[in-house]
Amino acid sequence: MASRGRAATPTVGKAMLNKYARAFFTRVLTPFAAFLIRRGVSPDTVTLIGTAGVVAGALVFYPRGEFFWGTVVITLFVFSDLVDGNMARQLGRSSRWGAFLDSTLDRVADGAIFGGFALWYAGSGNDNVLCAVSIFCLASGQVVSYTKARGESIGLPVAVNGLVERAERLVVSLVAAGFAGLHKFGVPGIQYLLPVALWIVAVGSLVTLVQRVVTVRRESAEAEAAADREARGSEAAK
């Protein structure tokens, strides 16, 4: 859930806090992070616990329509984004393993959140269309992440800021879910926020996917053209 070892990769915890709030919580959480280090707790352990908490909050509460409390639990565990990163900085660690673990568990957390929405709409929510939209949000989010990782793995920069990337997907969905849950406390009409948010995320994810595919195609063509020019130049120099 955090970003140890990954440069400029937004996480849901960081996206939900502006730079001033993040600086405040970093100061507040630094003693706690230091305490965990003294107790022999590793940043990886905090990452695992944070992800487990997000998964539990999503899959225990969301399928029952308890969107407010589910979002509260998820938000509490989101602070692991700040704690494990803080611990890694104090320990002076920035490893490929940490980056791999964070990225992998991010996908698990995403799947649990949108899977929880899908389970609600497939069951008591009784809306097959929104169930399908939730599943599309889940799948498209995974594919959007894959396109960037795959493009980078073949040596392309994938230099594009998509319309709706991971941080935006989760902030929009979680904020809407939290407010939609207030319907059970008597706030009228607010339950429609979540369906609207899911449609926004679905459309935005599709646009982002197209943006990344087009970018990779362009960068690939440019790289191949540059390689051809270099090869011709080498031949001409002989």
Determine the Cα–Cα distance for residues 93 and 18; give it in Å rounded to an integer.
25
What's the predicted TM-score (pTM) here? 0.85
Q: Is 75 annotated as a binding residue?
A: no
User: Which tokens go with 92?
Assistant: 């002076």
Residue with tokens 């969905």: 173
Catalytic residue ranges: 106
Q: Is 89 annotated as a binding residue?
A: yes
Q: Is 81 annotated as a binding residue?
A: yes
In 154-192, alpha helices (H): 166-180
pLDDT at 66: 97
Phi-psi region of 186 (alpha: psi -120 to 50; beta: other; left: phi over 0): left
144 close to 162: Cβ distance less than 8 angstroms? yes
For residue 24, is pLDDT > 80?
no
Among 11-25, 85-99, 113-127, 218-232, the range of highest mean pLDDT: 113-127
For residue 15, is pLDDT > 70?
no
